């Protein structure tokens, strides 16, 4: 969702929910963090034989280097300290194929415990990548035309104050070039009243468009609220069910789900979410109105499931080549992050330094939780989750920068010279 901005809070402080909190952490615990090696996917094999009388020496299989976990801990601890966050977790997949969790700070300030293993997270706008994938699957099936006006699928819905669904295409919704106004900042994510998607769209469209359709790029959650409605109109099923049967179930994403309204408690181990308190400290967030974010941001997942999803997307397991190419056709999106580009529900971000390149993913911000990261073409992945959204400009970029530094540390480990003598 949208980011909160303001001055960076002080170092985490703790007490009971609703009052400033003090983490039960020493400085050594903060800086060292913790690491869990979650799964292994490294394969080995024997070299091929030869028909000659004297067999050649066997080929040397060089093991892929493991990432420098000390460097990853330093990056994560620096992020927590600089931003005044309660805690953070990085889930990384190195060139060796193994998935590792690295923690800094606290997932729960009252106990001082770090983020748990396989932490369930409100992943916010990563939801958009799932919705976009379903829309592109429908396009591949001939059930949706991307260049058709959205009026064809949602007649009369996008109207008023200069907003006109007859002039805006499905493609422009997917890429955030529709020009539609987003919902107002006054909407209360902690309010308990259910908000129907049509009502949410109607509130947003009481304001004029930001610009003519296709003129430029501007992030807009209403685009994806409307795309969720489009999926339902075309398929006759809830958008949640279409995501489940087309993506979550085929990929075996065991910890990814849409929480039904008004379910609040995350299913499985999870960190607490916090909001900064003026003057320092943190307040636990106990309720989030998911009806306000719906198809645009209500999904729950683990970083491991996000890694599997984006890896499958890049590998072509979810979309035919034509639709996958469209999804990766980008426009500049500097407002998202420095050097970012945005396709159809999928973003790419630069990795500076030797080797360079880009990674593909999205980002997500829901009240009290922020996730950033993605997957490279060669299968490396970094996702960082933090359990507070600082009220200052640049707080989102700080997490993106940390993701980039971890990718760089992984590349440095891969480039380090190592001897691999024959046995």
- Can you tell me the mean pLDDT for 361-370? 97
User: Which pLDDT score, from 0 to 100, does residue 15 have?
Assistant: 37
Q: Which of 100, 95, 39, 37 is nearest to 62 (CA)?
A: 95
Per-residue pLDDT band for 185 (boundaries 50, 70, 90) equals confident
Residues 6+ apart with CB under 8 A from 142: none
Report the percentage of the chain scoring pLDDT > 70: 83
Q: Give the chain's count of helices (H) and strands (E).
A: 12, 15
User: Which pLDDT score, from 0 to 100, does residue 40 have?
Assistant: 37
Give the separation between CA 29 and CA 155, rounded to whole angstroms.
Answer: 57
In CATH, the architecture of 27-33+65-415 is 3-Layer(aba) Sandwich (3.40)
DSSP state of 247: I
pLDDT tens-digit series, residues 108-131: 999 999 999 999 999 999 999 999
Let me know: does 64 contact 18? Beta carbons within 8 Å.
Answer: no
Let me know: does 285 contact 275? Beta carbons within 8 Å.
Answer: yes
Q: Answer with the residue of higher pLDDT: 63 or 197.
A: 197
pLDDT tens-digit series, residues 319-348: 999 999 999 999 999 999 999 999 999 999
H or E element in which residue 30 lies: helix 27-32
pLDDT, averaged across the chain = 87
* Residues 109, 93, 134, 348, Cα dihedral to 10°: 90
Six-digit token string for 222:
């209403």
| Domain parsing of the chain, residue ranges | 27-33+65-415
User: Which pLDDT score, from 0 to 100, does residue 366 have?
Assistant: 96
- Can you tell me the mean pLDDT for 290-299? 97
pLDDT tens-digit series, residues 258-286: 999 999 999 999 999 999 998 889 999 99
pLDDT tens-digit series, residues 5-56: 333 333 333 333 344 443 444 433 333 344 555 443 333 333 333 333 445 5
The alpha helices in 246-389, defined as continuous H runs, are 249-251, 294-297, 303-314, 321-327
């Amino acid at each position: 969702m949208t980011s909160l901005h303001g001055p960076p809070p002080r170092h985490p402080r703790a007490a009971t929910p609703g009052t400033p909190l003090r983490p039960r952490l020493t400085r050594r615990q903060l800086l060292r963090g913790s690491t869990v090696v979650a799964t292994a996917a490294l394969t080995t094999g024997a070299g091929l034989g030869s028909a000659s009388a004297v067999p050649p020496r066997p080929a040397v299989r060089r093991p892929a280097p493991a990432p420098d976990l000390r460097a990853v801990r330093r990056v994560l601890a620096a992020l927590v300290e600089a931003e005044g966050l309660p805690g953070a977790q990085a889930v990384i997949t190195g060139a060796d194929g193994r998935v590792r969790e690295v923690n800094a700070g606290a997932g729960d300030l009252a106990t001082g415990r770090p983020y748990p293993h396989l932490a369930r997270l409100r992943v916010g706008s990563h939801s958009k990548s799932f919705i976009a994938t379903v829309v592109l699957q429908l396009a591949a099936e001939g059930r949706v035309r991307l260049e058709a006006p959205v009026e064809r699928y949602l007649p009369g819905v996008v109207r008023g104050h200069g907003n006109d669904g007859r002039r805006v295409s499905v493609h422009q919704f997917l890429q955030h070039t529709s020009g539609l106004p987003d919902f107002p900042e006054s909407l209360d994510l902690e309010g308990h009243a259910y908000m129907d998607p049509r009502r949410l769209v109607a509130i947003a469209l009481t304001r004029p468009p930001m610009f003519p359709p296709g003129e430029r790029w501007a992030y807009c959650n209403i685009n994806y609220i409307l795309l969720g409605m489009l999926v339902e109109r075309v398929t006759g099923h809830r958008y949640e069910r279409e995501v489940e049967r087309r993506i979550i179930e085929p990929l075996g994403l065991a910890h990814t789900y849409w929480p039904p309204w008004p379910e609040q408690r995350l299913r499985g181990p999870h960190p607490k979410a916090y909001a900064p308190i003026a003057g320092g400290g943190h307040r636990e967030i106990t309720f989030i109105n998911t009806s306000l974010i719906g198809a645009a941001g209500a999904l729950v997942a683990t970083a491991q499931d996000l890694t599997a999803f984006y890896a499958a997307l890049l590998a072509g397991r979810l979309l035919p080549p034509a639709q996958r190419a469209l999804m990766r056709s980008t426009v500049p999106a500097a407002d998202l992050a420095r050097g970012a580009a945005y396709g159809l529900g999928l973003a790419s971000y630069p990795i500076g330094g030797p080797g360079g390149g880009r990674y593909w993913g999205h980002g997500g911000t829901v009240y009290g939780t922020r996730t950033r990261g993605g997957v490279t073409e060669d299968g490396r992945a970094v996702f960082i989750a933090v359990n507070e959204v600082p009220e200052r400009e640049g707080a989102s970029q700080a997490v993106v920068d940390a993701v980039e530094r971890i990718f760089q540390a992984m590349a440095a480990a891969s480039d380090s010279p190592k001897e691999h003598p024959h046995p």
